[in-house]
Structures are given as C-alpha cells and as structure tokens.
A and B are shown apart, each in its own frame.
Chain A
Amino acid sequence: MNLSNPGNKSYFCGQMNITILAIESSCDDTSAAVIRDGNVLSNCIATQEIHQQYGGVVPELASRAHQVNIIPIVDTALKEAGINKKELNAVAFTRGPGLMGSLIVGVSFAKALAMGLDIPLIEVHHMQAHVLAHFAELPHPTFPFLCLTVSGGHTQIIRVNAPLEMEILGQTIDDAAGEAFDKTGKILGLDYPAGPIIDRYAQQGKVVFDFPEPQIPELNFSFSGLKTSILYFLRDQLKANPSFIKENMADICASVQDRIVSILMNKLTTAAELTGISEIAIAGGVSANSGLRSALIQQGEALGWKTYIPKFEYCTDNAAMIGITAYYKYLEGEFSSQDISPKARWGM
C-alpha cells in the first residue's frame, strides 16, 4: 500500500515498486535518495562524516566538491536503501534553480546513469520539490493547500492544487526571510548562518524593540528595509551605549525574530483569507525556526487551519523531496530527454 499518495486523487496505476534514485546538487550540499512508491528508503546528504569515509575534505561550497561527493553519496543512498542499481526504474535530478556549476554535476551524473541503465530521466524543479517534501511522511496536506516556502534564498507563498500544479501567489522582491536572519546576525556580530543562533537567543528574550513592518502590496514580501532599520536602530543605540548589543542580545533577537515571523504570518493569513484555503503548510530551512513554528500553530488554532510542518531533514535541501516529486512525474509519464541542460534561473 502506498501511504504517500494524496488522498483525493488515486495514483494507483497497476505498477508497484516504482523505485527512483534522486540527486540534488543545486547549492551547498550534495544529496542522493532512493524513493519506492513515494516512500523514502534513504535520504543521504554529503557531510564531513561521509567524506572521512572516503578520505577527503569538504569545501563548503563548490561544484568540484559535488564532483567528489556524488558517487560516494549515491553509493551510500543505494546501500542504505538496500537497493541494487539494476532495480531502479528512473533517475531524477534537480534541473534548477541553483548555482550553474553545481547543477551541471547532478544533471550530467543523472543523464549518464539513466543512459547506462537504460531507464527514464526525470527533471525536477527545486522549489516545487520543497513543497512536495510534505509528502515524504504522514500526515500530509490535502489539496488545495497553501505552502509558505522560506529559506536563505527564497520566500514564497504557493497555492498547491495538485502534486504538479502550483501557483506562486507572492514572493520576496528583494531579500529572502532567511537572509534577513543572516544579515541581522552579521550586524550583531554572530556567525553565519545566524538563523539558528538568533532563534536560541530569541527564546530567552522579550519583544521590546519595535521594528517597522514594510508595506508591500499584495502577497509579496520585502526584508531589505527591515535590515536597514535594524542597522540604524543599533547604530543609534551604540552611540549612547557601546555595549548595547551585548547587554540586550536576547531582546534584540526576540524583537527581530518576532517581526520577521509577523511579516510572514500576516501575508500567509491574508493568502488564506483570499483563497479560502485552510490547509496551511510551511517548507524550507527557515521552517525550523521555533518562532515561526509556534506562530503557525497558534494562528492555526485561532483560525481553524490544519497546519503542516515537515521534519527538519525534509526542510533543508535534500534529495528525498526531489525523489517524491519525481515519483508524481513518473506516474504522469513526465520524463526528460537526454539533451536536457540545467537552468540556473527557472520560474515555477
């Protein structure tokens, strides 16, 4: 039985054991996963640990690092899944958007493997995959649902009508929400990535400083102005008290986090009102933020939403979500030809 099928449409088409190898190499991490009938058998991300096994080092970001990682990570994913590559029915890969040099590694590898095994090739849109990461586990949202995708590089509200039918309702016109965290961290002298550090401080602080909410039309977002207002605020405070940041770190973090979260939640709430949809999901790395999680749950209780937050390993970049998306494409017969190339910029 296939637990990951969306409830309101039957995808059962007589063929069981559709096994897909998925590759994700759009940015920092190299990841490989094996998906069978929509269920995740393995989901491996190249980390120092895997590298030590092969005696290498990991530059944080490099297409050459992807070159080094890709075979070991695919090997590991197949082994963990207990699958021989001859059992695979298709090879899926992230076509974009992402860093061209990094994407090329995944695309070339997927093409070569699909050709060698004489099985279909499936291209996947990275942002579509973030949304479908919700189908890696139960319970998952029912269609139509809204998904707020928030990461270091993206901030979008997406209306999802069916697995492969999505519409962007709003997105950032400048910085992403994750970037607002990271840049605030830079101003505060915190390490990169600063999101988790700000979150930890915020949990010990109170919301006492008021940063303005940008007035952006429709369902779009802007975080660039917030960054600037934090900068001016701190500059003025530091003039009066040079240890202002040190003395108020927890409260500053709590105030900044509260504002970022309220910007996200206000737009999401408007989107829910406008569409009349009450199945609400979040995705992307920032959905690990405790403030966003509790705000979503609270708002859900207040407004009668059913809310969905994926497990952390499915929030950040991972190949399982590529495999889940590819599974739906496989069922629809959406395959790619061997002359395909990556797309660094790719609208949904």
Chain B
Amino acid sequence: MEVLENIGIDQLPQAVERILAHTVGGRNKLVFSGELGAGKTTFIQALCRKLGVEEAVNSPTFSIINEYSYFDGALGSERPVYHMDLYRLRHIEEALEIGIEEYLYGPDWCLIEWPEVIESILPDEVLRIKFELATNSTRKILIL
C-alpha cells in the first residue's frame, strides 16, 4: 500500500505518475472509491490526459460507460480507454447485463468509479485507489 498525502489540484500530475507506476505489466483495471466530491472524476481526467486521450473526458454517471481512445506507442495503434461509473446500478445483474465482464477481463484500460456493486467479480490483480477528503482543497489518496 502507498499513501499520497496533501494532493491538491497542482499535485495531480505527480499523483498520476505514482499510480501509473503500479500499473506496469498490464495491470490496467483500476477501481476508484471515495465520497461524492472526493475527486475521482477529476483524477481520471488527469490520468486520461497522461495516457494520451485528447477528447473531452467527462462524467459517465448517466452514460455508465464512456469510451475514449489514445495512441498506444508500444502497440503502434489506437486503443480504447473505458471510463465507467456504476453509481446508478443497484444490482450486480445490471452490470452483468451490460457485459461488464468483457471489459474487466479484456485487454484495455478500465477506470471504474463506484465499483462496489461489482466487487465480487473484480479480477484479482485490480488496482484499488481510495480518495479521502483531507481539507477542502486537498485529498489523501491510498493505493491498495
């Protein structure tokens, strides 16, 4: 476990770097937990920029899954990034019916907010990131 303290908006790029260090070897399924307003979507916006996503990264609360793309230098091709928000789902069946397992066990990046409803089907190697409010302008980020 690693703890990042006092992360404000200016420290986001460094925090993204720290988290990416945990994703080497294709560990690209990330779940983000934390209260409303804890900064999950803001963090994911910064992470997507770092991956090379150029299009608008906005909240998928309504759409459930937003799909972005970036150019993967190692593969030499465009790859998708899936940004999910399971806030609106009440039962795991709803997640299964939208085909969540295909994303979770596929090759591409999955950045998942409000993952609690799919806890029982998350892959073992999932990277868990927890946001805690520290002050109004800073957060504590736990990488589990």
- Chain A interface residues (CB < 8 Å from chain B): 27, 59-65, 97-102, 151-153, 171-176, 178-179, 182-183, 186-187, 192, 224, 227-228, 231-232, 344-345, 347
Contact = CB atoms under 8 A, between A and B. Distances in A.
A179 B62 contact: yes
Contacts of A175: 41, 58-59, 61
Contacts of A178: 62
A64 B62 CA distance: 18
B54 to A, nearest CB: 12
* Nearest 5 CB-CB pairings of A with B: A153-B62, A62-B97, A152-B62, A231-B37, A228-B37
B136 A232 contact: yes
Q: Which of B36, B55, B62, B67 has the most CB of A within 10 A?
A: B62
Interface residues of B, number: 27
B56 interface: yes
Interface in B84-98: 88-90, 93-94, 97-98
B98 A63 contact: yes
B4 interface: no
B79 to A, nearest CB: 14
Nearest to A153: B62
The majority secondary structure among interface residues of chain B is: loop
A171 B98 CA distance: 27
A174 B98 contact: no
Contacts of B93: 59, 62
Contact of B67 (A61, A224, A345): A345
Contacts of A182: 61
Contacts of B138: none
A99 B64 contact: yes
B94 A62 contact: yes
Given A60-B94, A174-B58, A100 B36 contact: no
Nearest to A104: B99
Interface of B: 35-37, 41-42, 45, 55-56, 58-59, 61-68, 88-90, 93-94, 97-99, 136
Given A99-B98, A175-B59, 4 more contacts: A62-B94, A152-B61, A228-B37, A231-B37
Contacts of A153: 61-63
Contacts of A192: 88
Contact of B63 (A59, A63, A98, A174): A98
Contacts of A173: 56, 58
28 contacts: A27-B63, A59-B94, A59-B97, A60-B94, A61-B64, A61-B98, A63-B98, A65-B97, A97-B63, A99-B65, A101-B97, A153-B61, A175-B41, A175-B58, A176-B58, A179-B61, A179-B62, A182-B61, A183-B36, A192-B88, A224-B59, A231-B36, A232-B136, A344-B66, A345-B55, A345-B66, A345-B68, A347-B55
Contacts of B61: 152-153, 175-176, 179, 182-183
A76 to B, nearest CB: 23
A152 B85 CA distance: 13
B131 to A, nearest CB: 12
A171 B36 contact: no
Nearest to B65: A99
A172 B63 CA distance: 14
Contacts of B41: 174-175, 224
